């Protein structure tokens, strides 16, 4: 029981650390952020952070792992929706937007991947490619079934992922803005995806 309680405290404190680190990295970048900045934000000593990470590079890596995990969770849940591929995409956009501006945030922007050491960089890029491939497969499914308008799935996926992942760059915790993101972003990003399934209208001479 004591071990479980200790593990739970460790997990909660680590998550708190990663959210604080994400905020610092998003605002000041990798080179502009020190472990002292993160520790200060948490009200801890520098030495306390070394209980969780070896160095700043590992902290960035863990922040990126967390961001990838949140995106994966959003897509996993969206794929459980009973409906069209377009409805699943819409649900994914809603969930991912909520993760970005809701309680799980701040989420790190993956803009410093080149700063990671090779094994960490390769892991993050692999997870990013896998996530993009799953989303593109969902777009193809929607095109095939007719719920999503024909499009270049690679470019469309890149545009949507870029918009979602950049939210933390300009959202800094304001609740009013967060509500606007949750209320508007999914519709804005999906508006051009939905196929026009309205029946063709007849002209005066009876043609369509």
**pLDDT tens sequence across 126-155:** 999 999 999 999 999 999 999 999 999 999
| Domains of the chain and any CATH numbers | 56-190 (1.10.357.10)
How far, in Å, CA of 185 to CA of 164, rounded? 9
Q: What is the mean pLDDT of residues 53-77?
A: 96
Specify whether the CB–CB gap between 135 and 157 falls below 8 A.
Answer: yes
Specify whether the CB–CB gap between 106 and 23 falls below 8 A.
Answer: yes
> Cis (ω within 30 of 0) for the bond into 106?
yes
CB under 8 Å, gap of 24 or more: what pairs does 170-177 form?
Answer: 171/100, 171/101, 171/105, 173/105, 173/106, 177/101
Res. 105: pLDDT tops 90? no
Model confidence over 69-101: pLDDT tens digits? Answer: 999 999 999 999 999 999 999 999 999 999 999
DSSP reduced 3-state for 194: strand
How far, in Å, CA of 49 to CA of 23, rounded? 16
């Amino acid at each position: 029981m004591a071990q479980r309680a200790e593990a739970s405290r460790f997990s909660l404190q680590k998550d708190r650390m990663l959210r604080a680190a994400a905020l610092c990295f998003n605002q000041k970048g990798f080179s502009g952020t020190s472990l002292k900045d993160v520790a200060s934000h948490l009200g801890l000593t520098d030495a306390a952070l070394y209980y969780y990470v070896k160095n700043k590079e590992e902290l960035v890596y863990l922040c990126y792992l967390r961001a990838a995990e949140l995106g994966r969770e959003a897509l996993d849940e969206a794929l459980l929706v009973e409906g069209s591929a377009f409805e699943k995409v819409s649900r994914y956009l809603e969930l991912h937007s909520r993760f970005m501006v809701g309680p799980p945030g701040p989420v790190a922007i993956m803009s410093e991947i080149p700063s990671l050491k090779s094994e960490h960089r390769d892991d993050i890029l692999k997870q990013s490619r896998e996530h993009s491939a799953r989303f593109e497969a969902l777009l193809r499914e929607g095109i095939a079934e007719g719920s999503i308008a024909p499009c270049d799935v690679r470019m469309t996926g890149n545009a949507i992922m870029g918009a979602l992942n950049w939210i933390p760059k300009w959202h800094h915790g304001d609740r009013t803005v967060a509500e606007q993101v949750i209320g508007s972003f999914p519709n804005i990003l999906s508006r051009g995806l939905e196929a026009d399934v309205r029946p063709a209208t007849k002209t005066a001479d009876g043609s369509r």
